[in-house]
Amino acid sequence: MNSKKISEQIEYSFRSVVRNDNKVRNAYLLVHSEKLGIDINIAEGNTGEISADPKQATHLASVGKLFTATLIGMLHDKGLLDFEDKISEYLDTDLMNGLHIYKGTDYSSEITIRHLLTQTSGLNDIFFPLLKKIIKDPNLKMTVRDALEWGKENQKPVAKPGQRHFYTDTNYYLLGLIIESITQKPFHKVMDEMIFEPLGMENAFINGFSEPKIKSNYPPADIYLYNINFINHKNVAQLDYAGGGVVAPLIEYLIFMKALVNHKLVKQETLSRMIDDDVNMGFPVLGFRYGYSVWKPKPIPLLMPKKFYCWGCVGATGAFMFYHPQSESFIIGTFNDLSYRSKALSFMLMKVIKPLLETK
């Protein structure tokens, strides 16, 4: 099929999903490939009384972790850290004290930056337990440090450092604090100065921490976790931080991904390490490997041929931001609801990448 028909097919699939599922209040999709001549940037649904618009800033949940990992990669390229450094070199004694006590043994001093990046520190998640507490008590306020202290008192690690992959925002909170320790600046300021401003991402901001350089005429898209509109809940936003706080129009996420792919942010060898220094994710995300906040589907004969290979990042609210090397395509979008946590990946692979592979 030609690019026009493929574009129409992808758009039809996307709009059909949204229109036939009342759980999805709004959704956004961008597919861009100069090689194939495809440029889709569409929205469906509503934000309150306003029709969804591609110009709206969207919160892609944990997709923001790839921005955090990229900042770490940039600091690495400047010689300011090594991926194998112990995190105790950058974090204060009070925070490190009792951070990781597993079966009676303190492993806090063994955690490395790489462990945090690959989600193999063994630390437990604190975001979702605290999210549920905030839903019960909307006035509950916590800084990231408060949240980490709460985790030390109320959560037990799941493994020794390096023993297994366990996906958690906790690791990326610590990376955010490491970035602050090295730069002596707040995380959102570093994001502005090192990524948003140099790339001209003028509508991008860190939810709950900063404002865009240019205020949009459109409200940010609603995003739902347990039927709570995340984008308007400031106390929840404070917990987001370096675990996924980036909010921007899809076209600006595209600017970021193009810069990353073309080694404008980190060196080629650093990006290769971010992608290829990976671990098996295991249950419940079977079939994927995880690098430095980089997800990759594992090739499976017949079910997932090598031609489907892509890499990028995923958010729990049905968000995704991937690059498909074979078609040189960027695929970015979100269904903005926790119910699409798994379904969004399937949509991207089967309803976007599969048709792209048929383009002539």
- In this structure, how many other beta carbons lie within 10 angstroms of the beta carbon of residue 150? 15
- How far, rounded to the nearest angstrom, does the alpha carbon of residue 343 sit from its chain's CA centroid? 16
Position of tokens 């079910």?
303
Domains observed in the chain: 3-61+188-356 (3.40.710.10), 67-185 (3.40.710.10)
How many Å apart are CA 148 and CA 155, to the nearest integer?
Answer: 10
Helix 144-154 and helix 169-183, axial crossing angle in degrees, nearest 10:
130
What pLDDT does 129 receive? 93
Token pair, residue 347, equals: 């949509």
Token pair, residue 79, equals: 């010689």
What pLDDT does 42 receive? 98
Please state, in angstroms and as integers, the Cα–Cα distance from residue 260 to each residue in 66, 69, 70, 74, 255, following that order: 10, 11, 8, 11, 9
What pLDDT does 234 receive? 78
Mean pLDDT by 10 residues, the chain (360 residues): 93 96 95 97 93 97 97 98 98 97 97 98 95 88 94 96 96 98 98 98 95 95 84 82 96 98 98 97 80 90 79 96 97 94 92 91
Contact 281, 275 (CB under 8 A): no
What pLDDT does 283 receive? 64
Beta bridge partners of 225: 228
How many Å apart are CA 4 and CA 142, to the nearest integer?
Answer: 49
How many Å apart are CA 169 and CA 116, to the nearest integer?
Answer: 10
What pLDDT does 301 receive? 62
What pLDDT does 240 receive? 87
Q: Which residues contact 141 (CB under 8 A, 6 or more apart)?
A: 235, 238
